[in-house]
Amino acid sequence: MSKALKIVMGITMLTGGIMAQKMTVHAAESNTRTGQAVRMNGTVSLASQVENNPAVKAAHYQVTQAVQALTMATTAVKTAMSDLQAAQTTLDAANKTLAKNQKIQTHMGVLKQAATDRHVKATKALDEQLATKKTSQTAVTTAQAAVTKSQAAVQVAQSNFDKDNSAANKVTLQTTQAKLKTVQETLTAAQANLDKTNEHVMMAEEELANAKIEVSGTSRDFQMAQRDYDIVQPQAAVNQAKAAVTAKLQRVAGTQDQVVTAQRELSQAQAGLTTVRARTLATLTAAAEKPMTEKPVGERPVVSHSTGTSTSTNQSAAPQATPAKPTLNQSSSASVPTAQRVVTTQPRQATTVLRTTTSPAMAKPVTQQTVPTTATKTATLPQTGEQTNRVLTVLGFVLLAATSLFGFSKQQRRHKTTD
């Protein structure tokens, strides 16, 4: 084999190795992205499992019931407060009506009482004036009798003086005349007093008549006030409104107690939900940390072109705490959450070793494929068949180039022999 042929074959093998290495790096990056997608999906699925846990759902239901009870209690408090305000408004209106009627009736009662007092006073004054009139009438009568008697004595004394002009008769006449004058003056005073008393009696009688009219009017007004401005019904309305306000106050206190109870139950339900969530999450996390053994998913042959033999490897998934570095014909295990069933498979690999005098054998490292088995859609994984087709394409290209070079070299030797 010529030196040019060896150089061309070396370049060809180097190109094939570089392409195989790029394909290996691409597969490793795909595995990394797939693992991240699996872990993220596992986290979401773990949270979903926590929320779908029957105990968590029951705690959720209790919280919902507590919220509804609190809402109903708050609505009941608002309704009770509204009813209390309405009852208080009714009570205020009843008190206002009662106060107005009481004021009118009290005023009418005061007027009636004043008229009654006036009537009593006028009656008493008339009685007094009548008594005074009687006394004055008696004094006039007595004075008239004294005047009559004195006039008779004067006539007798005048007759005696006319018969005898003696000094004694003259003195007697003068005395009787002076006494008559005095009696007449007394009669005049008594008559004047009687006249004045009569005037007072007339005034007392008029006052008494006016008092009687006022008493009659105020009594009628008071009866109308009692009829039109009754205080019995307003008083009953006030008492009823007071009872309603008291009942509404008790209702408000009861609903407020219900709100406090509902708030306490809601706090307990929320605390219970938090506890159940934490317990469920701890249980699922502990279950995720326990090792799981999956059933074998099948055997696939690994062909080694250096030895020309094929071996079978059992592919299994075993989650571990820390992943190991992948080695040739050996699968590495990955730790995933228990929310997903993860199966680690070993893809079929082809290792091509070409021995020349210029380059050593190159082996393609094993790549690890992690396939999530959850129902959710994850990142698309590279398929083993696709990788094998690429490898076969590269091998075909290398073999084609080697055959062409071999034919070219043989033709050159033939030309040299012919020459």
Asked, for residue 87, whether it belongs to a domain, the answer is yes
Is the same domain home to 90 and 203? Answer: yes
Residue 382's domain comprises: 1-26+346-419
Instruction: Please check whether residues 226 and 359 belong to one and the same domain.
Output: no
Cβ contact 352:339 at 8 Å: no
More confident residue, 10 or 165: 165
Give the mean pLDDT of the chain: 75
DSSP 365-417: PP--EEEE-SSS--PPPPPHHHHHHHHHHHHHHHHHHHHHHHHHHHHHHHHHH
> How large is the average pLDDT for residues 362-384?
40
% of the chain residues with pLDDT over 90: 47
Query: Is residue 230 located within the same domain as residue 374?
Result: no
In a domain, 364, yes or no: yes
Residue 140: the pLDDT is 93
Of 205, 239, 273, which residue constitutes the final position of a domain?
239
Residues 87, 223: one domain? yes
Tell me, yes or no, whether 202 lies in a domain: yes
Q: Residues 12, 93: one domain?
A: no
378 inside domain: yes
Residue 394 lies in a domain: yes
Q: Do 19 and 94 belong to one domain?
A: no
Asked whether residue 224 is assigned to any structural domain, the reply reads: yes
Of 378, 395, 349, the closest CA to residue 30 belongs to 378
The predicted model scores a pTM of: 0.47
Q: How many domains does the chain have?
A: 2
In a domain, 48, yes or no: no
| Nearest to 310, CA basis, from 319, 318, 320, 300 | 300
In the predicted structure, residue 127 carries a pLDDT above the cut 80: yes
How does DSSP assign 156-184, residue by residue?
A: HHHHHHHH---HHHHHHHHHHHHHHHHHH
Query: What's the CATH code of the domain at 156?
Result: 1.10.287.950
If we measure between CA atoms, which residue out of 116, 118, 121 comes closest to residue 219?
116
Res 5: pLDDT: 59
pLDDT in tens, 214-256: 999 999 999 999 899 989 999 999 999 999 999 999 999 999 9
Nearest Cα neighbor of 372 from 407, 341, 399 is 341
Higher pLDDT, 415 or 95: 95
> For 197-218, how does the pLDDT look when each residue is reduced to its tens digit (9 = 90+)?
999 999 999 999 999 999 999 9
Segment 90-115 mean pLDDT: 93
Same domain, 87 and 227: yes
**pLDDT tops 80 at residue 361:** no
The domain boundary, picked from 239, 255, 283, lies at 239
- Same domain for 117 and 221: yes
Q: Within a domain: residue 210?
A: yes
pLDDT over 60 (residue 382)? no
Domain end: 173, 204, 239, which one?
239
- Predicted confidence at residue 288, as pLDDT, reads 80
89 and 235 in a common domain: yes
In this predicted structure, the answer to whether residue 26 has a pLDDT above a threshold of 60 is: yes
Domain identity same for 142 and 5? no
Average pLDDT of 280-297? 70
Per-residue model confidence as pLDDT tens digits over 71-80: 999 999 999 9
pLDDT for the residue 313: 38
Q: Please spell the DSSP secondary structure of 114-130, one letter per residue.
A: HHHHHHHHHHHHHHHHH
- Do 91 and 175 belong together in one domain? yes
